[in-house]
Amino acid sequence: MSSLTEVLSAEAIAARVGELGRSIAADYANRDPVLLGVLNGAVPFLADLSRRLSPQIEIDFLSLTRFGTEGRVGIKVDSATSIAGRHVIVVEDIVDTGLTLSYLLGLLETRNPESLATATLIDKTTRRIVDVELKYRGFEVGDEFLLGYGLDWNGRYRNLRSLWAVLDLAAFQADPDMLAREVFRRTADRLDP
């Protein structure tokens, strides 16, 4: 049995991102939101989502650090956009315990946005420690470790078009190149030259 399995194909992700884009476009028909992406994982999702929206939207990013086992979070690099009075949509790759997002939302609230909503591609609902409202949600998954489409292993694999689950973490840790071999075996998921 393989230690890895593809859980969401590139086509399934693209179709769902299209649906989320249509919902956001309808909800924000008369408002120009700022999409605020959480680096680095939100990059592919934000890029694809933003291309489904009107040219009036703005894009910015920030990055966070996590320290301590209790998951305390701080800002590593802040966004440059002033969000006071703006309609902000925080864009995340995955929400797991919810600690990261709940910290970030608390911080952004102090900056007085006109409205604050969240969009995440993946929701690991069963792992939640802190309740956070996820207005736009791509897929609900179990608690397997995922890679691809923004999600990394030591900085790698964020650029895969599809999403993979690691079924045998020990085997994967011993040979992290196995996913690269698997992906490049498939023509459908080959990276552009």
Residue 93 sits in the site that holds ligand 5GP (CB under 6 A):
yes
In the shown chain, the binding pattern of residues 141 to 160 toward ligand 5GP, with x for contact by CB under 6 A and - for none, equals ----xxx---xx--------
Q: Is 27 a catalytic residue?
A: no
For residues 46 to 75, the per-residue mask of contacts with ligand 5GP, x marking binding by CB under 6 A and - elsewhere, is: -------------------------x----
Question: Alpha-carbon distance 118 to 183, whole Å?
Answer: 31
Omega into 159 within 30° of 0, i.e. cis? no
Of the candidates 64, 46, 59, 50, the one whose C-alpha atom is nearest the C-alpha of residue 107 is 64
Single out the catalytic residue among 96, 123, 189, 192: 96
Per DSSP bridges, beta strands 34-39 and 58-67 are parallel
AA identity, residue 120: T
59 or 64: CB nearest ligand 5GP: 64
Query: Which residues sit at the interface with ligand 5GP, rule CB under 6 A?
Result: 41, 71, 93-101, 145-147, 151-152
